[in-house]
Structure 1
Amino acid sequence: MQNENSFSPYQKFVIAVLTLTQFSVILDFMILSPLGDTLMKSMNIKPAQFGLVVSAYAFSAGISGLLTAGFADRFDRKKLFVFFYGGFIVGTLCCGFATTYPMLVAARIITGLFGGVIGSISMAIITDIFTIQQRGRVMGFTQMGFGASQVLGIPIGLYLSNAWGWEAPFFLVAGIAIVIMILIGLRLQPITGHLALQHDKSAVMHLWHTIAKRNYRIGFSATALLSIGGFMMMPFGSAFAVNNLGVTEAQLPLLFMVSGIGSLFVMPIVGRLSDKTDRFWLAAGASLFMMVLIAVYTHLTVNPLWIIMVLNVLMIAGIMGRMIPSMALITGVPEMEDRGAFMSINSSLQQIAGGVAAAFGGMIVIQKDKFSPLEHYDTLGWVAIGVSVICIFMLGRVSKIVKAKTSKTVMQKVDTLIEV
């Protein structure tokens, strides 16, 4: 008999395909940060305009998620997955063919309309296929797409960019995504268990009933706060490294590769810890660690590359150390019949909050000319720290909701056994 905490061969395949999907979607988004300095110089755009390129994806992804939330529990999750992933591939190709700033913004909007929903569908698939005791490890593995994008995707993308122009990385992402799409079509089974539990006659009512639940709104708020801190600083990371810390364009791929390797080691460990310890306290401790590193990093000046690498690895450990247990905790909030809608709204708010943060960050950060140091990046750090403090308190409320729900489920099972 298989242990309920171990993974079946099919579950391992699902983890693998979701991780690969995350890799492609995250790479498409993450590649903008290391290309930021190159794009600002080649298209002659300012930090505020680059912030709009980042936020255009986030805002369109958020709007798309809200529009599809009411329908998310009314279809086979595999069909939804294939439809939106196909649109994401088209949007990514449009980014590669963009030749002007307005075209690039439009392409990012198209990519966001489809790509922004993929994460919520993945989360719904995870909650349908895996028990809550398994989800921390699953999150740890699927979030390895983040690390893999830095170890493999971003360095390769930067080398391609240096050789053939900034458009080349987008064609790389599209090629990878097409291979993954074939795997999804051939091997992923239909996921329809939630369809029998639907009671709302209209998509609008289902969306409204999901938003109207107080516990769900607390979960949404925690996710939005988690997103704000990271999105605020991330788009300007490469420009800060090049113009403030003395990292050369040739050294950037190595910096991202080392940071990614560090995250690949950290994420599975955090995932296991998340399933064995109290997720709230793990997220709270990692948040405090991250806040200290943000305060240090955003006040750095020119330093040896190895010091910058070490601080980047530690900061990513803090970010992932809070993100994995937090998201695993939040998946315990919705009931099965609401998971698709909950995850869509949750992902939408995450994207919209990130878009607001990126745009806000673009207004704070100033660069006098293409080669001047970024100014006020340290201010962004203090704002991110303040938001993280509020986020800890909100995660505490989510933890109480999930624990109460788990206790209720256990009592219902005991009562059923007694009756039998």
Structure 2
Amino acid sequence: MKQEVIPFTGYQKLVIFLLAITQFTVILDFMVMSPLGDILMKSMSLKPSAFGIAVSAYAFSAGISGLLTAGFADRFDRKKLLMFFYFGFIVGTFFCGLAHTYVELVAARIITGLFGGVIGSISMAIITDLFSLQQRGRVMGFVQMGFGASQVLGVPIGLYLANFWGWEAPFLMVASLAIIIAIIILIKLKPITAHLAIQKDKSALLHLWHTVKKRKHRIGFTSTALLSIGGFMMMPFGSAFAINNLKITNEQLPMLFMISGLSSLVIMPIIGRMSDKISKFKIFAGATIWMMGMCVLYTNLSATPFWIVVILNILMMMGVMSRMIPSSALTSAIPEMEDRGAFMSINASLQQIAGGVAAAVAGMIVVQKTKFSPLENYNIVGYVIVVISIISIFLMYRVSKMVTEKSSEIDLAKVEEEIVLSEGI
């Protein structure tokens, strides 16, 4: 059934832009670890398991940070929270660029994760506060374009910088860009405080407990965690697999990420509009089934011509992106306004922790005998993703059902209110 498309105001468009460029830097900081994987593993003589820990260090610290701050997320102006954590993210990213050893890099990733991992949940809470459910699919489509933009612009530029000045250069680039963005947000974004007027819990810990104990919240948390496990397992070793198994060259790698990112920029707004017009769950289920098939095909490849690798990456990206947008929009509709900050923080925390577990597990599954040997057991990662994705479809169906029931209750309440008002007149 088609739904009415509600247009954005001028200020809403500005908010979308600010959140999108913020997400661009945060996602780029995380995303750049994957394409730098082969360079880092060779320069630091790292085994896949050690690199998996370097990737998961960010995710675990981000998850822990989110849980620790969840109880406070609805007790402050969301703009102030965003600025605080974004500043910490900038400092941590600079430390990544100044690291010279594996231990220093892992420590810097932990610091970055402690701050950067909370930014996504704050952005989600802002989106849910300022945009109706009928607008959120389009908002998610634009904000999550940061994922595609990071691949089109950030990752290729980062790889070129890494080839000339070392793997530290991309992190310094991200931190410098983030400083400029932080200044713009400070000047342009208005305070977001509507949730403070309806906050009932006096204790942050009590608020956290009230958020976790709700059954509908736990269903949302579980679905998000499983989505993250499926999404993160292939990512850390993507560049190493492309170079050592598919025989892509270091010079071709930036082009591969750029083309995949461009496809994301085209796909995401389209999926966002579709999810606002038709069933979000149907889009999610179809995209997940598509992604499962592409994962199995891709992870079983050996040496492959570059143009075929590009096409397969685009097709796989279609599945990945097309499930992210409707799932985010559906999950955002679960909590009430007074719980949104805490819900989004916990949700993002579990997402990060699940991603950290996925990266660490993938590091234990994947084996590489020497620095230049093909990765082994990468196809097993693909099969694990299939199993997890099937379960995630079932859980997202339950989320969709809850959201539909909630919307029906709200509509019924409006009708009853109108009847009472008309009778009073």
Alignment of 1:256-335 (within 5 A): 256-335=257-336
2-structure distance, mates of 1:187, 1:250:
40
Are 1:145 and 2:143 counterparts? no
1-structure distance, mates of 2:383, 2:270:
28
- In the TM superposition, residue 201 of structure 1 has moved relative to its aligned partner by 1.3
1-structure distance, mates of 2:149, 2:5:
28
Map of 1:381 onto structure 2: 382
- Cα deviation, 1:280-303, whole Å, max 9, x if unaligned, reads 111000000001100110011111
Amino acid at match of 2:255: L
- Cα deviation, 1:98-156, whole Å, max 9, x if unaligned, reads 01000000000000000000000000000000000000000000010000000000000
- Cα deviation, 1:246-275, whole Å, max 9, x if unaligned, reads 100111000000000111100000000110
Alignment of 1:39-54 (within 5 A): 39-54=40-55
Map of 2:391 onto structure 1: 390
2-structure distance, mates of 1:160, 1:100:
19
Map of 1:89 onto structure 2: 90
- Cα deviation, 1:40-83, whole Å, max 9, x if unaligned, reads 01011110000001100000000000000000000000000000
Amino acid at match of 1:49: A
Unaligned ranges ≥5, structure 2: none
Flag as ranges the 4+ runs of structure 1 deviating above 3 A.
Answer: none
Contact 2:70 2:343 in 1 (8 A): yes
2-structure distance, mates of 1:348, 1:159:
32
Contact 2:216 2:402 in 1 (8 A): yes
2-structure distance, mates of 1:21, 1:138:
14
Map of 2:116 onto structure 1: 115
Amino acid at match of 1:166: W
Amino acid at match of 2:262: I
2-structure distance, mates of 1:92, 1:329:
31
Please, what TM-score do these two structures have when normalized by structure 1?
0.99
Instruction: Say what the alpha-carbon RMSD is for the aligned residues.
Output: 0.7
Map of 1:171 onto structure 2: 172
- In the TM superposition, residue 380 of structure 1 has moved relative to its aligned partner by 0.2
2-structure distance, mates of 1:329, 1:277:
13
Please, what TM-score do these two structures have when normalized by structure 2?
0.98
- Cα deviation, 1:391-410, whole Å, max 9, x if unaligned, reads 00000000110000000000
Contact 2:117 2:349 in 1 (8 A): yes
Are 1:38 and 2:30 counterparts? no
Amino acid at match of 2:260: S
Map of 1:357 onto structure 2: 358
Secondary structure of 1:385's counterpart equals: helix
Amino acid at match of 1:276: K
Amino acid at match of 1:419: V
- In the TM superposition, residue 230 of structure 1 has moved relative to its aligned partner by 1.3
Amino acid at match of 1:397: R
Unaligned ranges ≥5, structure 1: none
- Cα deviation, 1:315-366, whole Å, max 9, x if unaligned, reads 0110010110011011110001000000000000000000000000000000
- In the TM superposition, residue 4 of structure 1 has moved relative to its aligned partner by 7.5
Percent identity for Structure 1 against Structure 2: 67
Are 1:254 and 2:268 counterparts? no
Secondary structure of 2:36's counterpart equals: helix
2-structure distance, mates of 1:324, 1:381:
22
2-structure distance, mates of 1:197, 1:222:
28
Aligned length: 418
Map of 1:211 onto structure 2: 212
- In the TM superposition, residue 310 of structure 1 has moved relative to its aligned partner by 0.4
